[in-house]
Amino acid sequence: MADVFTSDKRSEVMRLVRPQKNKSTELAAIKFFKDNNIIGWRRNYKLFGKPDFVFSSIRLAVFIDGCFWHGHNCRNITPQNNKEYWERKILRNKKRDRLVTRTLILKGWTVIRIKECEFKASKKLKRISNNIVRQILNSY
């Protein structure tokens, strides 16, 4: 089916669409934190890069990155329509991720980035939770 908008109009419409965040993955992270008695996290904390979770007392920022949007190739999903646009978009996201991580580290924060697919890998999540708990304990 052909698009009813011109290319310019479609771009304008898409720019107006605001992301709703990856709520299911973030809700899974909240459940994981609660199930593992990981406390001290906050959401919507005003910090450069807008981390999904912040442990301000230990200066830890946790980002949960959607695999498609952040260029992880776990499912190897590459749209065939408008391929160049999506490649540029994902490349910009990756560059922004590196900038945010570098900036926060330079400001004394520890940054943990969890890929969406890693929620399925319990060993990886256990390592991440152990890292968070270790940092919390070391801060006291």
Q: Which domain CATH number covers 81?
A: 3.40.960.10
Q: Which domain holds residue 36?
A: 21-138
Confirm whether 16 is domain-assigned.
no
Q: List, for residues 112-134, the tens digit of each pLDDT value.
A: 888 888 776 666 667 777 777 77
Q: Which residues are paired to 42 by β-bridges?
A: 54
- The per-residue pLDDT for range 58-111, each reduced to its tens digit, is 899 999 888 888 888 887 677 788 888 888 988 999 999 999 999 999 999 999
Structure tokens at 1: 């089916």
Domain assignment present for residue 124? The answer is: yes
| DSSP codes, 41-83 | -BSS---TT--SEEEGGGTEEEEEE-TTTTT--SS----STTH
102 is a domain residue: yes
Confidence grade of residue 137 (pLDDT, cut at 50, 70, 90): low
Q: Is residue 108 part of a domain?
A: yes
- How many domains is the chain partitioned into structurally? 1
Q: Which tops the pLDDT comparison, 2 or 31? A: 31
Please give the structure tokens belonging to residue 16.
């107006």
What average pLDDT does the segment 47-58 reach?
A: 93
DSSP 5: S
